[in-house]
Amino acid sequence: MLYNMYMMYMDKKSLETRPAMPRLLIEFLICMVLLCATAAQGGEIMSFRIESPDFKEGESIPQRFGCDGQDISPGLVWADPPEGTRSFVLTVEDPDAPMGVFVHWVIYDLPSSARGLEQGIKGSDARLKGAKQGKTSFGQSHYGGPCPPRGHGTHRYIFTLRALDIPALDVAPGSKKGIVEKAMKGHVLAEARTTGTYQR
Task: Record the pTM.
Answer: 0.77
Which parts of the chain fold into alpha helices (H)? 2-10, 12-17, 23-47, 177-184
For the four alpha carbons of 158, 141, 67 and 79, in that order, the dihedral sign comes to positive
Asked if 15 and 112 sit in the same domain, the reply is no
- Nearest-angstrom CA–CA distance, 184 and 166: 9
Asked if 37 and 102 sit in the same domain, the reply is no
- Nearest-angstrom CA–CA distance, 46 and 86: 19
- pLDDT tens string 79-136: 999 999 999 999 999 999 999 999 999 999 999 999 999 999 988 888 898 999 999 9
Asked if 160 and 123 sit in the same domain, the reply is yes
Assign 97 to helix, strand or coil. Answer: coil
Asked if 99 and 17 sit in the same domain, the reply is no
- Nearest-angstrom CA–CA distance, 178 and 176: 5
Q: What's the domain count of the chain?
A: 2
Domain assignment of residue 89, given as a range: 48-198
Check which CATH number belongs to the domain holding 82 and give it. 3.90.280.10
Asked if 118 and 146 sit in the same domain, the reply is yes
